[in-house]
Chains A and B, each alone.
Chain A
Amino acid sequence: MKVCAEFELMIPSETCAGQAVQERIIKLLEEHQYPERDVFGVRLALEEALVNAIKHGNQMDASKSVRVSCRVSMRCIRIEIEDQGEGFVPEEVPDPTEDENLERPCGRGIMLMRAFMTTVNFTDRGNCVILEKNREEAAASCECE
């Protein structure tokens, strides 16, 4: 395992704080010359995960924070986002691609995370998501564990 950069921090339940940490992680990917498509996917997944944590998990409660940890190597990136909310059961989120849900204005975030990341796992309580993305040309599994 050769981790090139890592950090962990607590951010307040504010979307602008989410934006700032998102920019920090994207900058790391760009510094490590990740392909544009990987950067697109990670940014999108990060946005969805951070909004979920801040809005749905912590309900924008100023007394609650979100823990974000990130490890980047030349081959993969691993991000953990943990809120202080009650958690949820991801399997209970309705499939947004079903005909009856197609016109619902929300409920697509988890699907987009899964589509653009290599793996997306939730802890048992559902208040922590672990996102992993292998660099496009890297076939091996994430070495940031």
Chain B
Amino acid sequence: MAFRSAVITFPGSNCDRDMAVALEEVSGTAPHRVWHGDAELPAGLDFIALPGGFSYGDYLRSGAMAARSPIMQAVIAAAGRGVPVLGVCNGFQVLTEAGLLPGALMRNAGIRFVCRSVALDVANAQSLFTSGYAAGQRIHIPVAHHDGNYFADAATLDRLEGEGRVAFRYAEPVNGSARAIAGVLNEAGNVLGMMPHPERAIDPVHGGTDGRALFEAAVRALASA
């Protein structure tokens, strides 16, 4: 069964091609490329990816403008129906701004843009995105962001941790994120937002392949659904 995925491109997205290559490489099927101004998604999608970049030049707040673009109403509706949605970096910022994930991504605590491979611990290895990892597994994935400092109030953080919705944690200081959170899941488990870029770690020439298991897990989840 073909894996029907879509990569959304906003003005200023710059990891959309990397995301499309990763999805095609792992699933064997090229994703649909969808423009932010479209009002509808292709029918019957199995997976939606919001890529990294600097949509709308990060005007207002990172992800704020993209979250209000026409296609996001369709993404929100699809997420509500249970379609898996992955937001990476700017995509994570868009998901929080759109209200699909709790919290907000603020300026890095150290002010500087951080661009390097970082160590992550897999906090939840049971989601459709993370079942290819072992709980507590240490993986290495690149980050490249200025606004990755995850913030939510204490009650929300407690709830996320209590419900197993922290997918990944930084295993080293990166950006000042609350409780070292690098990626979070929505309540139903079909929406994942993460600052690190798994699509930049799927081939040995990337310097690492630890991101590959995330896409493989999503493809496997569909095949067994």
Partners in one complex: no
